[in-house]
Amino acid sequence: MSAWPTSPAHHRWLDQHSRDLLAFGRRTADPGGGARWLGDHGEPEPDRPVSALISCRMTHVYGIGALLGVPGAGRIAAQAMAGLTGRLRDTEHGGWFSAEGTGGKSCYDHAFVLLAASTAVQAGLPGAEDLLADAQKTFLERFWDEEAGLCFDTWDTAFTTLDEYRGVNANMHAVEAMLSVASVTGDRSWIARAQRICRFVVATAEAHQWRIPEHYGPGWQPLPEYNHDQPDHPFKPYGATIGHGLEWSRLLLHLASAPTVGEPAGLATAARELFARAVTDGWAVDGQPGFVYTTDWTGRPVVRDRMHWVAAEGVNAAAALYGYTGEVFYADLYRAWWDYVDEYMIDHEHGSWFHQLDASNSPTATVWPGKADLYHAFQATLGARVPLWPMLATAVDEHLS
């Protein structure tokens, strides 16, 4: 029997699950442009405004759906993207609002604009080329710190005052976006920027036993106790975030597989170490299957809830390491984690994945109510089916469309 990451039978299941997820999220597109946060049954949440994050993620997901030949996916992607060219665009100061009526400009959101625009270009959506050009210009002018080789985190609305906080989470999604832009455009300067970010993260993680410090002040001074009073924060939790160790592991292998990268062996070694630390600290450490959300700096669990995105990143990291190394150990974990996802995470009655489970693997909604978007779950259905380079949208276009 073939190892699951390379099994044609398993790939057929993954393909069907991709399409099931796309069917679940079809109501995300808002008539006024952009995409809506989805509820438990895939219904748009009326009390949540159209946001850049959800609009970007759904542009990306349904853009790939169009590349997979799913009828209607291109229309949904175009409608989600219309929020980025319309109501979420700041025509006065440039950049994108996090949501209608909100102030401030975040690197996190703008990294996703880069990702969405690059996927939209790959999918051939009208207006995508202009959006990508605008997104690249804004990102380089406002968020890329050439001196540090890292990204600024947050500006005020007018881009006049820079917040003192610096964060690894936004830089992580910037790496994904940078490599995606390079894949679509062929501009290798984005690979070089991504490599600078990754060098910092690898060096910092190695100095902390491969747990990644997430939060910093000006000059990138670490803030290890940041958000100690908000340990389950959805974007900036206290301590080490298990899912980010897994996600960085995968991103390092994408970078190691990219052209012009001069240190693939070192990146692959770091990917193994980050993965091993995340599994040791996070997987089934409290007597129940599943990944805990966060740990302290000794590896002790802090937030024991299971977030769906962590399991999705675990699946894709295991697939990436198996694809890069050929070692069956990673294929075995890949299979075990999909079994876990099938038993606990996938909502077989109403569709998509539960976004949050408690420590006993029962659905809860204290951090992630509803089923906001498809980004992590959908990507988990694709990682084993395409190579590590180019990045996802381009790889799907070249290998699955």
- What are the tokens at 11? 């790939």
Helices 107-123 and 73-85, packing angle to 10 deg: 140
- What are the tokens at 392? 């996802």
Q: Which amino acid is at 325?
A: T
**10 Å Cβ neighbour count for 7?**
16
Q: What does the buried/exposed string (b/e) look like for 64-98 if buried means 16 or more CB atoms within 10 Å of the residue's CB?
A: bbbbbebeebbebbbbbbbbbbebbbeeeeebbbb
Closest CA to 50 of 68, 79, 30: 30
Residues carrying an active site annotation: 244, 376
Helices 52-67 and 107-123, packing angle to 10 deg: 20
Place of tokens 């809830």: 305
> Could you give the CA distance from residue 279 to residue 8 in angstroms, rounded to a whole number?
27
Closest CA to 334 of 315, 317, 321, 320: 315
Helices 128-142 and 107-123, packing angle to 10 deg: 150
